[in-house]
Structure formats: C-alpha cells, structure tokens
Structure 1
Amino acid sequence: MHELSELPQLLTALPTSVVELGKLFDEAGYEISLVGGPVRDLFLGRISPDLDFTTNARPDDILRVIEGWADATWDVGREFGTIAFRRGKDQFEVTTYRADAYDGDSRKPIVAFGDRLEDDLVRRDFTMNAMALRLPALELVDPYGGLKDVRASRVMTPGTPEVSFTDDPLRMMRAARFTSQLGVDLAPEVEQAMTDMADQINRISRERVRDEIIKTIVGDYPRKGVDVLVRSGLADHVLPEVSALQLETDEHHRHKDVYQHSLQVLEQAADLESDAEGPVPGPDFVLRFAALMHDVGKPATRKFESTGAVSFRHHDMVGAKLTKKRMRELRFDNETTKDVARLVELHMRFYGYGDAGWTDSAVRRYVNDAGPLLERLHRLTRSDVTTRNRRKAERLAFAYDDLEQRIAALREQEELDAVRPDLDGKQIMEILGIKPGPEVGQAYKFLLEHRLDNGPVSPEEAAELLNTWWSERS
C-alpha cells in the first residue's frame, strides 16, 4: 500500500504514451483522465494490464483527436461511448463521461453522456474505482474517498449502496469479485444492501452473472468471494446448490460441515495448481469450480442410518447432474460444463484404494475415465482431504502417492494416455469380413474392455480374441 506522497514515483510505472495522450486531448480542448482500476492499482503496488480513460469528448471527437497518433482503432462499444485503440504495444480504451442506469425492468443499461468528471465518477461501482488522474497534469481526483477505502481494504460505493445497486444490480456480484481478487472486505452498509437487494440480481442476464462468477472463482482469495455470495444471499439466486451446502446443524457431529469443507477444498485446490509450465496452470476455473461443487449432491442424498451414521450415497452422481444443470442455466459453454461435471462425478472414485488396493485393470480404467482431466482429478482428490486427523490424512496422501506411482509405471509400459484397442476399425472389418455398422462398434468396445482389463496384446492375439468373440456372439 502506497501513500499519496509517493504518487510521483508510482507514475513512473505508467507508459510514457499516457502523458502523450493527455497532451493530445488537452491541446484539442478536451478533458481526459486515467480512471478506475489502473489508478487504484497504483496505490496497491500492482501494474494494471488495462489503461482506461474518461473524457468529455464524444466518440467522434475521440477518433478525430487520436487520428494519426494511434496505430489502430477498433469498435468495442461506440454506442456506449467507448473507443479502443493501440499505440505501439500499449492498448487504450477511452470512454465519454457517462451515467449507466437500469430502467427497473430491462437487463440492458440506458446510457446518457455527461460533461463533468465528478458526475461520471459518482456513477462508478466503488470508491476505489472512482478515483481519476487528470492528464496531462497528473492530478489525483478523489471526491468520494477512494484512497481512504483502498488503505482500509474496504469496498464502499460512491453514493449510497442502495442507489448504486438499483442502478446496476451486477455491482453486487462485482463486490464479491473484489473481495476475491483483492482480499478486501465489504463495508457493513454495502453487505447489508446486498443482503436486502439480493433478488435484484435476477434483472441481470445469466451471461453477465456467469462472467462475474468466473472472475470470483479465479481470484487470489476465492473462498472469501464465494462466502460473500452465500452470506449476502446472492448465491441463493445464482448458485443455490452452494447455499444448500449449509446443512442444518447436526448436534451429534456425525458429519462435517459440508459448506466449510467445500470452501476449504476450493482453497486447497487453488494451492495445488501448477505454474504456467506445469500440467494445471493456475488460476484454473475448471478445477476450482469442480472443487466448490464437488459435494452439491450431499443435501439431496443425506440419510441418517439406523447405526447412527450419516450417509450420502451416490452424491457424486447426483452432484454431477446438479452441476451440469446449473452451468447450463448460467450459459457456460458445453466443454467447460462437461469437464466440471465429469470431475464432480469422478471425485469419489479413488476412495477405497488405500484399503483394498486396485488391480492394474482398475488403474487403467481410472486413467481412461479421467481422460484429459487426469491431472485435475489428481489435484481435486488430494484437495478433498480436510480431516483434522493427521494419521488419516497421511494415510490418504500415501495411498494417492502410490496410485500416482502406479499410473506412471503403467503409462511408461503401455502408453496409458492413449489407450486404444489392439486393432482399429479397419482391421476389425477385414478380420470379420463385415461392413461399417453397429457390429464394428461392438467389436471395438469388446477389444477396448479386454485392453483395459488385461493390458496390450499382439495383433495376432487380438485377432484370435476377436474371432472367438464373434463366433460366440453369432
């Protein structure tokens, strides 16, 4: 965290083209300021990848000012007053002073251009984003105490939270996202307004809600962000399966707190991500969201047994279906939805390995079922251990170490990542003298099952097995 007196030193982190841009607009008779995240990040000691500016110039005026200076321009939202362009390696977005609001029913904002910087800043989501740096003078403009809130690690709105969230209910999701990205806390009045107005999030399109959920999950403090969503009641509307993990208190403590367990698994999964060169580069949304959702099938499957124990039979299968349904409602793409749901479905597959051990066949099937998700499944399974019993935790870790070693050994022997039958479709048709059709697929499946159970065989042995299967089938 940096003091205002350090601002001149902090400004050296900005590209020189920022001041050049300020001079262009000043000479043309317009105001322009660096605004929002880049200004906030200066005081957080972070370098923002985005350079956002605001001006009293209208979109056509902006284009005239940068003509000949910008190397390229493109339209990212001209109807909203935004012009994007590039100079050298630096990319800029300049937006006309504006005020976004919702009419109370529509999911799309109404846009009106403004003339004063202060009027533009009051319409921004949070005070820490309502600071501006006037150019080319490099004067800090902070009418709503953003720097004070940055220093206090606090999320507060420029006006009252109720007015801010009425103007744009998505700001409630952004508040949760900020706690995840920056590790900050909500001002009490902000959290209260979110709690009182949580149902207003239903005015916002599912796609925009989805994007905020993704940003929250991949933040540096995802547990904090998710807890804000649940605590405020927003999750009741956007991730009700996560809210439902708060099972009523079990006075006999026959099962752990499923909600807190899920948050811990999310946190531990994030810690197990690799660097950019590793098998699961972080932040990895698929792994993290699977960690959060892995037990969402438990509320529907909880059963108190006659022995006094509590069971959650088939919660993995139920959870996978619930996860897939929720992600489809939030308009996630098919591949991401399929991957997350598959991890939820597979997260219990490992348990029992340490007690009974697995045959080579079972290890092959584990790898085959996980497919390209294997490295994520390794991390999800390891992160699912939250027991305080050290001996139990060590036993599970040892068992999974052993499983990974066996996978590595079999992979070296058998090219396990690309398990295929020992004969392909063309060979199957030639040996059996059949044409393309369902029988080829059935034969292929038979040989794949044999390969998984027994490992690879020679083409001659595979042909003999195939002929025997075919004659018995006939």
Structure 2
Amino acid sequence: MVEVQRAVTTELDRIAEVIDELGRRFSAAGHEIALVGGPVRDAMLGRAHNDLDLTTSARPEETERLIKGWADATWDMGRAFGTIGCRRGEWQVEITTYRSEVYDPSSRNPEVQYGDSLVGDLGRRDFTVNAMAVRLPGREVEDPFGGVVDLAHRVLRTPGTPEDSFSDDPLRMLRAARFAAQLGFTVDPGVTAAMTAMADRISIISAERVRDELVKLICAPHPRLGLTLLVETGLAEKVLPELPALALERDEHHRHKDVYEHTLTVLEQSIDLEERLGGGPDFVSRFAALMHDVGKPRTRKFLDDGTVTFHHHDVVGAKMTRKRMKALRFSNDQIEAVSRLVELHLRFHGYGSGEWTDSAVRRYVRDAGDQVERLHVLTRADCTTRNRRKAERLRRTYDELEERIAVLAEAEELDALRPDLDGNAIMELLGLPPGREVGEAYRWLLERRMDRGPVEPEVAREELLAWWATR
C-alpha cells in the first residue's frame, strides 16, 4: 500500500499544474471536481498519463465558463454526454458532469442523466479499478468499491452486480476482455458468468463501438487473455465468429493442437516481430495474424489416407476477412491491407525450399505492394513447428528471400515496379487513343518486366511493336 501511495503522489505532483489549478477554480465556484477513472488507476500502477479525465458537479455550461481563459483550446463534441474537452499545454483534459447512464433494452445509445454525487458517479462506472477518484484540490482518494484491493489482486470486478452493469451498457462485457488484455488482469468469476449469460445483449451495440473495443484489445500487451475470454464466454461468437470456429479444426500437419491455438501463437509471434515495423502495436499486422487461417473451416477435406487438407483457405479466408471487417465498419484501407496479407500468407511456401527466380521475387513484391514488410512478419510468425531443424530451415530460407528482395530492390526499384514504357509512350508508339488496348499493352509490358527485369526503352519499343503485330 505504501508503494501505491508513493506512486500516486509522484503522478499527482507531475500533473499538479493542471489538477491543482482546476481544483481551485471549481472549488471557488462552489463545485466539486475530481480526477477519475483510468488516470487514477494508472497512477496507482506507476503509469504516466497526459490524457486526464475529471468529473464534476458542475453542468457543462458552467465547466466551459470556469476553464475559459485557462485552457488553450476547448471543444464540446461530448456535450450531449455532459463532457467538455480542453487542452492546456501538453495536457488533454476531459471534464464530465456527474452522471448516470442506462440503456433502453432495445437502444444502441445511452440515456444520459446527471447525477448529484461523486460516489454515485463512481458507482455507474464499469469496474472497481476504474471507480476510484482523487478529489481536488485536497487530493483525497475516494474508493467506495474496493478498487485499490482489486488492483492489488489484479482482478476485474464491477462496482455493483455485473448483471446490472452489463444491462446498463453491454459494451462493458467487451471492455472486460479489453482490460484483461491491457492490464494482464484476471476476471472475477461472477463477471465471467454474467458475460456468458448475457452475451446476446451485445447485439444492441453499434458496429463502430464494437470495432473500437476490438482494436484496443488486439493492440494491448496481452491480447491472448482478452481473446480467450471472448471465446470462452460466447461473446466472440457474436462479434468475431471466425475466431471460435477455428477451435474445431486440426491444422494441416495434424499436430495435437487446433487451428485456434495455432492462431493465437501466430499472433503472439507477430507481436514479437513488430520491431521490424518500427515498434509499437501495429493493428493491421496483428489482425492479419488473427485472421490468416479463418478460411480453414470452410475448406477442410479429409483424404482417404486420413490426412486433412485446407486447399485455397488463403483465398477463402481473405474474402471472409473482408466481409467481417466491412461489417465492423473498418476503413477501406485497413480492409484492403489485412485482406491482402491473409490472401498472401502462403505465397512463400509455394516456392518449395527456396528456388526463387528473379521473376518470382518481383511478383512477390509486386503482389504485396506496400504491405511487404508486414507480409515478412506474418510469414515468419506463421511458423509454429516444434521441430527445431525445420523451423531453422524455414527461417534461413526466408532470410535468403529477403536478401534477394533487397538486392533486386536496389538494382531495379522494386517498390515502384512499372513497365519500361509508360502509357503516353505506348499510345504514341502504337498510334492509339486512351482506352482498353492501351491497358492491355501496359499489362503485357509489365509482365515482361516481371519475367526478365528492366530493359532499355529501345528494346521495349521493338518488343512491343512485335507483340502488337501478332495481334
């Protein structure tokens, strides 16, 4: 407990220039104000925050008046929920009026009702570790639901009954999985039981809110914990059904593990390789790892000799990935990037033990496009064999492929592969207007470029004229 108090004091001193002044302003106006939620929790965990959440007895219009002249900028996009945002130097601050919000059983949106006490406001929050506050300016800790104890035990509980909490806001069930992944905490058995019993209730939550929680979970330090909880409670069946479906399948090597476990291992191994992408959580890379084998259930076939095949599961999986991401309202760029990686994740294995021609290397880079670095990560992460000799051989073979790509890239600018003649040159040489035939000539030249590398423009013109004459 002494360590917790020391951590909180250190963090409050760091953010004193914000919280002390706000505390004085609101107190002088006769209002209560307190630092609340994640910043308090993370202060106790020794984590620094520059995004600060506060709660107050003041209504939004009064909050705006009190921060005028103090804040460098203000915004009120959250006014409907009682929230006024502002910036002061490097600090981002959100100040929300005490509230209690509940869901109509058939509504996607909360009904916001203002509350009249800090304890009442804390009681409507999702978990006890997020239901702690520091009153300002006096810095007294308010912990009516035992959040400090739960933080010490690393467990997630709800302030009231989980059934009431999840009925008020079903998204909290996903938040339980997300916090488990972010904090590495276990979930109280009562919370898990309520999530299982109420999984169907998640259907009233908008796709965008579900998507945002999944992104945070997958980008967390321990995504396996959160994903496992979603599968075990049945929530994954409602929001990402392709994941639990994998638990029914054996992988193509017929090991004593299913494709679901293989997938979680690939996800973890891709995280270990993220430094190749510049470090930090990379959602596209992680989600591609999670979805790379989702086509297996639909492509499984049992052969007469007892083996199992999953032919074309890469192509089928890419289509399934695209459909799921569209349903979750991901951006077109994200959908295209993840789907392409899923479709290409077996390409490396299609070239035997490394007999790659220059033409094959060029096509590999061309098809991967701007996702080539992520494809390197996914392909390496997809090796989960326990056979050390085989794993080493695959690693060495992929090292050689990357070296080949680097050599050709330096010599031929592989990251911008295009024909030796552009569209204007093609039209001038063949006397064509813009149209389909120009596109055909362009693609023919590009295939020639792939097959044998770059040539001088004179050679390309002669070859194009000869090809055109045969048509």
TM-score (norm 1): 0.96
1-side partners of 2:283 and 2:326: how far apart? 16
Contact 1:354 1:399 in 2 (8 A): no
Displacement of 1:180 = 1.2
2-side partners of 1:282 and 1:378: how far apart? 17
1-side partners of 2:94 and 2:160: how far apart? 25
Counterpart of 1:223 in structure 2 is 224
Contact 2:354 2:397 in 1 (8 A): no
**AA partner of residue 114 (structure 1):** G
2-side partners of 1:357 and 1:44: how far apart? 52
Displacement of 1:316 = 0.3
2-side partners of 1:248 and 1:109: how far apart? 40
Counterpart of 1:453 in structure 2 is 451
Shift in CA distance, 254/306, structure 1 to aligned 2, threshold 3 Å: farther
Counterpart of 1:414 in structure 2 is 412
After superposition, the C-alpha distances for 1:120-166 in whole angstroms (9 at most, x for unaligned) are: 00000110000000000000000001111111111110001000000
Shift in CA distance, 287/225, structure 1 to aligned 2, threshold 3 Å: same
Contact 1:2 1:43 in 2 (8 A): no
**AA partner of residue 79 (structure 2):** R
Shift in CA distance, 147/450, structure 1 to aligned 2, threshold 3 Å: same
After superposition, the C-alpha distances for 1:425-459 in whole angstroms (9 at most, x for unaligned) are: 01001111111111100000000000001111110
Displacement of 1:14 = 2.1
Counterpart of 1:396 in structure 2 is 394
Correspondence list, 1:217-296, <5 A: 217-247=218-248, 253=254, 256-274=257-275, 279-296=277-294
2-side partners of 1:5 and 1:416: how far apart? 56
Counterpart of 2:195 in structure 1 is 194
Correspondence list, 1:176-195, <5 A: 176-195=177-196
2-side partners of 1:248 and 1:313: how far apart? 14
Counterpart of 1:32 in structure 2 is 33
Counterpart of 2:141 in structure 1 is 140
Counterpart of 2:332 in structure 1 is 334
**AA partner of residue 292 (structure 1):** L
Displacement of 1:377 = 0.1
Counterpart of 2:14 in structure 1 is 13
2-side partners of 1:336 and 1:172: how far apart? 25
**AA partner of residue 242 (structure 1):** L
Identity score, percent:
62
Displacement of 1:3 = 3.5
Counterpart of 1:89 in structure 2 is 90
**AA partner of residue 337 (structure 2):** D
After superposition, the C-alpha distances for 1:291-313 in whole angstroms (9 at most, x for unaligned) are: 00000000111111112211100
Displacement of 1:226 = 1.2
Contact 1:354 1:396 in 2 (8 A): no
Q: Which moves more between the two structures, 199-208 or 79-88?
A: 79-88
- Three-state SS of the structure 2 residue aligned to 1:351 is helix
Q: Does 1:364 align with 2:362?
A: yes
- Three-state SS of the structure 2 residue aligned to 1:355 is coil
Displacement of 1:380 = 0.3
- Three-state SS of the structure 1 residue aligned to 2:446 is helix
Counterpart of 1:426 in structure 2 is 424
**AA partner of residue 462 (structure 2):** E
2:469 to 458, 471, 474: 471
After superposition, the C-alpha distances for 1:260-285 in whole angstroms (9 at most, x for unaligned) are: 000010111111012xxx64442110
After superposition, the C-alpha distances for 1:230-289 in whole angstroms (9 at most, x for unaligned) are: 111111000000110011679x95574100000010111111012xxx644421100000
- Three-state SS of the structure 2 residue aligned to 1:92 is strand
Displacement of 1:91 = 2.1
Displacement of 1:334 = 0.8
After superposition, the C-alpha distances for 1:89-144 in whole angstroms (9 at most, x for unaligned) are: 32211100000110111100001001111110000011000000000000000000
Displacement of 1:225 = 1.4
After superposition, the C-alpha distances for 1:404-435 in whole angstroms (9 at most, x for unaligned) are: 01111111111111111000001001111111
Displacement of 1:229 = 1.2
After superposition, the C-alpha distances for 1:27-49 in whole angstroms (9 at most, x for unaligned) are: 11100000000000011110123
**AA partner of residue 460 (structure 2):** A
1-side partners of 2:144 and 2:34: how far apart? 14
Correspondence list, 1:166-177, <5 A: 166-177=167-178
2-side partners of 1:121 and 1:50: how far apart? 19
Correspondence list, 1:20-99, <5 A: 20-99=21-100
1-side partners of 2:3 and 2:353: how far apart? 58
Counterpart of 2:206 in structure 1 is 205
After superposition, the C-alpha distances for 1:41-97 in whole angstroms (9 at most, x for unaligned) are: 011110123101001111111122222222221112112111111223322111000
Q: Which moves more between the two structures, 43-52 or 349-358?
A: 349-358
Q: Which moves more between the two structures, 70-79 or 433-442?
A: 70-79
**AA partner of residue 118 (structure 1):** V
2-side partners of 1:113 and 1:434: how far apart? 70
Contact 2:249 2:258 in 1 (8 A): no
**AA partner of residue 237 (structure 1):** K
Counterpart of 1:3 in structure 2 is 3
Instruction: Give the superposed CA RMSD.
Output: 1.5
- Three-state SS of the structure 2 residue aligned to 1:85 is strand
After superposition, the C-alpha distances for 1:350-405 in whole angstroms (9 at most, x for unaligned) are: 00435261111011100000000000000000000011110110010011001001
Structure 1 unaligned regions, length at least 5: none
Correspondence list, 1:109-124, <5 A: 109-124=110-125
2-side partners of 1:448 and 1:249: how far apart? 40
Structure 2 unaligned regions, length at least 5: none
- Three-state SS of the structure 2 residue aligned to 1:403 is helix
TM-score (norm 2): 0.97
